[in-house]
Each structure stands twice: as C-alpha cells, then as structure tokens.
Structure 1
C-alpha cells in the first residue's frame, strides 16, 4: 500500500520515501557514483563470455560492473547461446558483493558493444512500481536511521537485525516483557523493517520459546498478515521445533545498508561525505549570506577531492560559491570568519 512519494534530489544521491497515511513504508536510494552501472529494470546490450552447462547459465559482459548471470531456467525463450554472441538483457536484480547482476534474455542485439540501451531514473522506477502514486519534492531524512542493528519496540523489547552472506538473522529480546505480547509487536515491526530497509533473500527470525501452540500460531499469523501488505513476494515457513521462522522476500536491488554502510557496518566514506554536503546545503539555506566551511574526516574529505562525483558546480548553483572544504576530526559546518 502506498499513496504518496517524497523524493529528494540531493548532491550526490537521490532519496525517496514511499508513504502510506503519511508514514514511511519504503525507502529507495540511488547515488551518482553508481551511474552507468546496471540496475533492476534497465536494458543492456551484453556479450556472452561463457556458457556453463553445469550451472545451466551463461555469463554476460554488460560493459560496466561485474558480468551478469543469465540462468537458462529463467529465460526459456532464449536461443542457444554461444560465447561472443551479442544479446539484449533486462536486469532482474542488482549486483551485490561478490555477485554480478541477475539478467534475463529479451532479444538478440544488433549492437556490437556492451552497454546500456535503456535506463530509468528513480522517479521513473517509483512511478512504475506504484502506478498513479503522487510524487513530490521534499527532504527524506528517515533513511539515515534504517541501518541500525537494534530497533526498540514501542512497549518494551528489542529486535536485532544482523546480515551475513547466507542471509539475514533477526533476534528478539523481550527485555523481561510478556513473551507473546512482545513477539506480536516484534512480528509487526519486522515486517515493517524488512520493507523499509529493502531486505530480501533468506531471513531467519529467532522468537522466544512458547509454551502454548496458540501463542505460536498468533505470532505467526500476525507476521503473515503484516507481510500481506508488502508488494514484494514473501513466503513464510511454519515455526520450527526451536521456535524459529524461516522466510524469504524477493528483492531486485541493494538494501539501504548495503548502499550506506561499509564492510564493518559503519557509515561508508561516501556516506559521510554526502552527509556533509546535505548538512552544508541545509545550513546555507538557513543563513543565506554567510560563507560556510564544511569540515569532514580526512577519508571523506579525500573522497570528495578525488573526483568520483562532480559536486562543486552543482552545489554552487544551489547555494552560491560561498563554501570551502577542510579536513578535521569530525563532520561539522561553521561560518568562515576570515
């Protein structure tokens, strides 16, 4: 369910919040540094580099990023593929760490060089995912808070979300509360967090041990009912003997955490740099005449100076050429007194 989208075209990234009754239910994030890389829904011309009969798949050079994986079972309409052949493919799922994008065959290609043939903006992606949705420009700040591993429940208790290469593990801490009440609240929050964060694949939820079958059934049904509102495909297994629930959720893109965090789970250098630019722009709009200084930790400072994205001219067009960048111990914005 969704009835409105707020989208923010910031320097270095575009953020979107899908709202239902003015409450965020889904976030999306795209960054300038990833422009040109294959995204779900894009059409690319690709060259078949390898046909693996054991995997029943082919690897396709897309001209950018990791080779795409084309599974024969997913594209029964594909002709017999040969190495070196040029084909058109649709990106089904974005690339992840150690994995290239998943692609499907659409047609033979008359293009002789791999590369994008049809791509879309985040605005277009949202409009296609939610036909008829109202899209308006505005700040999207809540996305910064959906990468925390700990989520507090309103009436007590916590859920902990941890990611591994095999899947996502979710643990519930009742914090001394009544098991069934906390677990029902947790089931509702888990369904919400999965969608907000864009989590997919295998998910294992570790609930407290229940004495009564009815309590277990009530918790499971709550989770099922809440997931019914999810536009992605979800499948839930029954409770195991150890009071865990395994489920899967389809996904086509990276999670918010995969985009914003580094391998250690901390904000990436790029995230810190773009966070600084957003804060600088906000401060400049509040104080229209001041010359401002953006101070960033050294690694974030170096990232902006490296030219990965061209940010200075677009920022100057928004707030004027009245800022400078320095390195320091922490992120800060202050007036230039010189």
Structure 2
C-alpha cells in the first residue's frame, strides 16, 4: 500500500524506525545506516484541513481566470487553498467542490489542492490524510518501531540535523552547503582534496556522494521547488552527471532533472509535499514543546528520581500545565522562573 502524498523511498537494508510520542507533539524518524533519513512532526494544534492527503469539501472563494486557478475555503480560514483548474472545469464563486490536499501550507501560502469533482453541503473533511504514526507504520511494515528513551534521543538528533545547513565529510572530501531562499534551494558541493588521491577521481566521488547527500537533505527538511546544485568541476561530464542525478532521484515522484550548464550547475525540480521543517521548527510553540520533551527525556532516562520539575514563567506555565500533567505524577511544573526561560530540575 502507498499512502497518498507521502514521499516514498525504496525498501533497503539498514533502515530503523522511531516513534517519539509525547503530550502536544508526535515525531516519526527513519534512519538508514545510522543517518537520519526522514523526520515527520505532528502537533495537536495542527488542522486536518491542511494535512497532506486529506480529502474534503470546500467552497470556491475566488476564481482567477488569468492563472486558470481558484482559491478554495476549506474551513480552516485564510490563507485559502490554491487549486489549478483542469481544462474542462469551470467554477464560479460560492460553488462547492471536492478536493484533496496535494501540498501542505508553507510561508504565507495555503495548501495546494487537487480537484476531485463537484461537492455538496458545508465545507467539511471527508477523510483525513495520514498522521505521522500511520506514515511510520506504513513505511516500517513488519519492522520494529522503536519507542521510549531511544526514540526521544533520536528525534532530538534528527531536529539538530534538520536545522543544519552544512555537511562535512572529511573521509570523502565533501564540503556541502545547502540553503533555502525565497526563490529556490541552493546547494554547493565543494571538494577538499585528500592526500594521495587523484583529484579527478576525487571530484567524481564527491559529486556522487554529494548528490546523494543533497537528496537526503531535501527529504529530511521537506524542501521542494527548484534546486540549483553547484557541482565540483564537472563542466565536461554533463551526461554522466545527469544520469547520476536521475539514479539518485529515481524513487521520487514528480522530480525533473534539468541539463548541466557549462558552469557545472545542475537544476532539479522537486514537488512540495509537507510543510518545510524549518518553518515548523521556527513556530513559537517549538520552544514550549522542546521544554516538555526535555522533561520527558529526564523522566525516561532517570526512573529512580521521584520527581522532575519544569520551571518556567507564569505565562508559559498556563500553556504547559496540561502537557506536563499528561506526563504522569513524576512530572511537576513551577511558574517561579523568569519569562522565556525553561529549566529542568530534580524535585
């Protein structure tokens, strides 16, 4: 079975699956040979109307003939969903339609929607897209899903990886920088020569490794759009590099590989799917939830201590109270700390 909207990967050896469940947030992590392969984040405050794969009835809020598209009110408020119109479909304002979320919200843009047909009745969800637990179980199949302390630690490590914008691999001479701009994703593959290695072979190896690493970073960060990859000295190896890129992205739906320029720049088009992780992690709730995760980690890593206490400011305590209470009787909350500060201490 293939989950709607989930970016698939080939089933290969060395995959491990982690489920980090805590009050307020659930994370699913996939690793391959010890490296973070994928990270999915779901929060209790998320709207199902914006979830990838959700099917619903929406109302046409505005038709844009020049764009051959329409903005759809799905019941989640603005920004409304954006839907490109099939050639034979003509909509009017106020009309009800059945749609499916094909890409989640990002920046100030609403979800991208796919037209399924005419709708009836009020705006409502017909079937919700898969949550992260379902995604992980589908990807894992019969493999074990690791929970508890190991899963918490792996999700913290995965978050650190998702925030990083560089990858250094001295064993192969790779220095990779990858950044997201408003217009595109920029990836720069540099070669740091290794002693005793032929420079031509070294650059070829770094480009092979670097393209795989770019794909891993895009998958991990949930980035899409135009990806401009500056390769290491490949101006005269266009066919081999393009073929290599096609092999690297062969398991990805909707990816297009552009030609290699004479300056060694390769362009790849990757469809958007989930909300980018940098936007998820930049949300104001992240700091609050991270404090709960650190408290949860302390409780799991030290079961002998009767009580652990999360100390924070009064305003934060109001929001954190139900989350801390859900961790059980060993978890306590104190509002005696300064505003914006979070401390974990033994009770």
With the shorter chain as reference, the TM-score category is: 0.7 to 0.9
**Displacement of 1:321:** 5.6
2:181 is matched with 164
How is 1:157-306 mapped onto 2 (pairs within 5 angstroms)? 157-177=174-194, 178=199, 179-210=203-234, 213-214=236-237, 217-228=239-250, 230-261=251-282, 268-285=283-300, 286-295=302-311, 302=315, 304-305=316-317
Q: Supply the distance in 1 between the matched residues of 2:209 and 2:96 (Cα, whole angstroms).
A: 51
TM-score by length of 1: 0.81
Distance 1:324 1:314, change over 3 A: closer
**Displacement of 1:288:** 4.2
Equivalent of 1:8 in 16, 20, 30: 20
Alpha carbons 1:25, 1:196 under 8 Å: kept? yes
- Per mean C-alpha deviation after superposition, the further-off stretch among 272-281 and 184-193 is 184-193
Matched, 1:70 2:87: no
1:265 is matched with none
2:4 is matched with none
Alpha carbons 1:146, 1:256 under 8 Å: kept? yes
Alpha carbons 2:49, 2:56 under 8 Å: kept? no
**Displacement of 1:201:** 1.3
How is 1:44-63 mapped onto 2 (pairs within 5 angstroms)? 44-63=56-75
Alpha carbons 1:207, 1:244 under 8 Å: kept? yes
1:95 is matched with 105
**Displacement of 1:22:** 6.4
Alpha carbons 1:4, 1:133 under 8 Å: kept? no
Per-residue deviation, residues 145-197 of structure 1 (Å, max 9, x unmatched): 22211111242331111111111001123245543333332122112222222
Distance 1:50 1:41, change over 3 A: same
Task: Give me the CA root mean square deviation.
Answer: 2.8
Q: Runs of 5+ in structure 2 lacking a partner?
A: 1-9
Distance 1:256 1:182, change over 3 A: same
Q: Runs of 5+ in structure 1 lacking a partner?
A: 262-267
Alpha carbons 1:188, 1:222 under 8 Å: kept? no
2:47 is matched with 35
Distance 1:292 1:127, change over 3 A: closer
Matched, 1:136 2:141: no
